[in-house]
Amino acid sequence: MEPKEAIAFAKGERDVDLLLKNAQLVNVLSGKVEFRNVAVTQGIVVGFGDYPARKVLDLEGRFLVPGFIDAHVHIESSLVGVREYARAILPHGVTTVVTDFHEIANVMGTEGIKLMHKEAESIPLNLYVMLPSCVPATPLETSGAEIRAEDLQELMEQEWVKGLGEMMNFPGVIHKVPGVLKKIQMAQGKRVDGHAPGLGGKELAAYIIAGISSDHECTQRAEAEEKLAQGMYIMIREGSTAKNLQELIPLVTPENARRYMFVSDDRHPLELISEGSVDHCVREAIHWGIDPVIAIQMATVNPAEYLRLPGLGAIAPGYRADLLVIDDLRRIEIYQVFKDGRLVAERGKVIPGVIKGRRISALQDTFHIQGISAKRFQIKAQGSRAKVIELIPHQIVTKRGLHKVKTEGGMAVADPARDILKIAVVERHKGTGNVGLGLVKGFGLWEGAIASSVAHDSHNIVIVGVRDDDMARAVQGIVEMKGGLIATRAGEILASLPLPIGGLMSDLSIEEVRDRLDNLHRRVREMGGKLEDPFMTLSFLALPVIPELKITDKGLVDVTRFEIVPLFGEG
């Protein structure tokens, strides 16, 4: 609106489009809850009180809350494109997402970012982008693309780009690598998100002073306290695998709450549909004792101010009318969702016709693997003890174990009785033939194998199994599907979920993806699997920037030393 027009509406000189009467307004700016009438026109809140209106809606004392903001998410981890993702989150009150498309960027480069953003054009969702800072994440893996600072320059100038995404290469920052610092400097005036698990002391100070202002990788209270005290904003994550809210929420007080916000990071369709996204974080925070108004601030005004999103995160004159109508402030049961003053979801469902356009379609084949036989997964025993990746429940960090190895005929084999299985990463982008081999503890499989082409961040194929032939069949099945998740046993495919869009996303509806994922989980449990979300856990075991021990197509990675290490022996 032109200023004169906006002033006329605010003064009540013209009929507004919508008047929401008898609302208990949760004012995240004042911290108060008070009865208000809220006037909306042309998608903007223009004032409080009595206004002449074309349409009046009596909320009958229900609570009116700003639309929720997810401050850090990778939409690709939902296994669907933006359109289907929006269908899942809008009924849960998430009207704004700030996403880092570094998953598709690792496969397709900047073209992948543009493709994903274009899909959002006809969707009633505020979608902002943090440009991927680390493609590839490290030189310790083979990625499908490489993005340099100059490749990002044009995109950084776009209004929908809000800064530089999680800077995983914290050693590159600390050691003043020119290409890394150039990307940070290029984002001047915009935010640079952090990703520095376990970093502290002077190294943390160096990381922050380089221009990085947030972190979503805190898993322990002491770590979050130190980062908060040194000036960082703390993103409290509650994803499908990484669940940090219960550990960190006791740190939030009325005095420091404005430096915290909620993020989902990586969340599968099962949880998105059943639990939600940021709304789930708000409910959990209230459950653990946080005042409801503070919890709502952490999901609205806090991320809006941190990410510099003008007109979002509050309900006040001049703000966009992204509004939630809630029956119970403690249970956060969302009755209606308004986007720019238009009703887009009600009683847990998107209004028919609200989401237009077509779902993203399959891309070119991104799998370049010759043949993979069972022999490629054989591990020659080179000692009696080997390093083992040990899982930590509900975390993506791992432990570095050292265990006696079971051998047969001079070969190291899986030992399901001790829950030690084989793990491998097969390079799929450039036909190098690389296969990284290792051992992992914590999946619980007694038989079979599982595999995924979603393997952060380079998205090669990661496999865990008991038998080499089942591991080989799993890789073959993924290549045949042009990407996906799979479970095999006795040489047969038990269940699968094709992900033909870059090997990361499905072209099915999110409900169909949920059902096929649920079937996969059921099959994995039948093979002895004990993890709540084995495929999400599997996807992070190839990420060599998360301590302590990970694996890539180039071998076993000691993340604390930031180098490839031999499988056998302590060194």
| In the chain, domain spans | 68-310, 374-565
Preceding peptide of 58 cis, ω within 30°: no
**312 contacts: CB under 8 Å, gap ≥ 6:** 66, 67, 69, 96, 126, 304, 319, 320, 322
**Dihedral through CA 276, CA 281, CA 285, CA 287, nearest 10?**
20
CATH (one of 3.90.180.10, 3.40.50.20, 3.20.20.140, 1.10.10.10) for 68-310: 3.20.20.140
CA distance linking residue 144 with residue 6, whole number of Å? 49
* Whole-number pLDDT of residue 137: 83
% of the chain surpassing 70 pLDDT: 99
What DSSP designation does 249 have?
A: G
pLDDT band at residue 120 under the 50/70/90 scheme: confident
pLDDT band at residue 361 under the 50/70/90 scheme: low
* Whole-number pLDDT of residue 362: 56
Is 55 a residue whose pLDDT tops 70? yes
* Whole-number pLDDT of residue 457: 87
pLDDT digits (tens, 9 = 90+) for 553-569: 999 999 989 899 999 99
Q: Token pair of 438, please?
A: 């290792």
* Whole-number pLDDT of residue 297: 98
Side by side, which strands form the sheet with 233-237? 68-73, 94-99, 126-131, 161-167, 191-194, 214-215, 233-237, 260-263
- In the predicted model, what is the mean pLDDT of residues 186-213? 95
> What DSSP element (H or E) covers 167?
strand 161-167
- In the predicted model, what is the mean pLDDT of residues 328-354? 96
* Whole-number pLDDT of residue 570: 87
Is 132 a residue whose pLDDT tops 90? yes
> What DSSP element (H or E) covers 215?
strand 214-215
* Whole-number pLDDT of residue 371: 84
* Whole-number pLDDT of residue 364: 67
pTM (2 d.p.): 0.92
**190 contacts: CB under 8 Å, gap ≥ 6:** 156, 161, 162, 163, 164, 308
- In the predicted model, what is the mean pLDDT of residues 476-499? 97
% of the chain surpassing 90 pLDDT: 90
Contact 523, 376 (CB under 8 A): no
- In the predicted model, what is the mean pLDDT of residues 353-359? 79
pLDDT digits (tens, 9 = 90+) for 441-480: 999 999 999 999 999 989 999 999 999 999 999 999 999 9
Mean pLDDT for all residues in the chain? 95
* Whole-number pLDDT of residue 363: 64
- Determine if residue 531 is left, alpha or beta; phi over 0 gives left, psi from -120 to 50 gives alpha, anything else beta: beta
Angle of CA points 339, 340, 343, to nearest 5° = 45
**R_g of the chain, CA atoms, integer Å:** 24
Determine the length of the chain.
571
For β-strands 385-391 and 435-441, DSSP reports them as parallel
The position carrying tokens 């070119």 is: 364
Nearest to 119 by CA among 450, 502, 558: 502
What DSSP designation does 359 have?
A: P
CA distance linking residue 565 with residue 559, whole number of Å? 10
Choose between 392 and 357: higher pLDDT: 392
Contact 465, 374 (CB under 8 A): no
Is 354 a residue whose pLDDT tops 70? yes
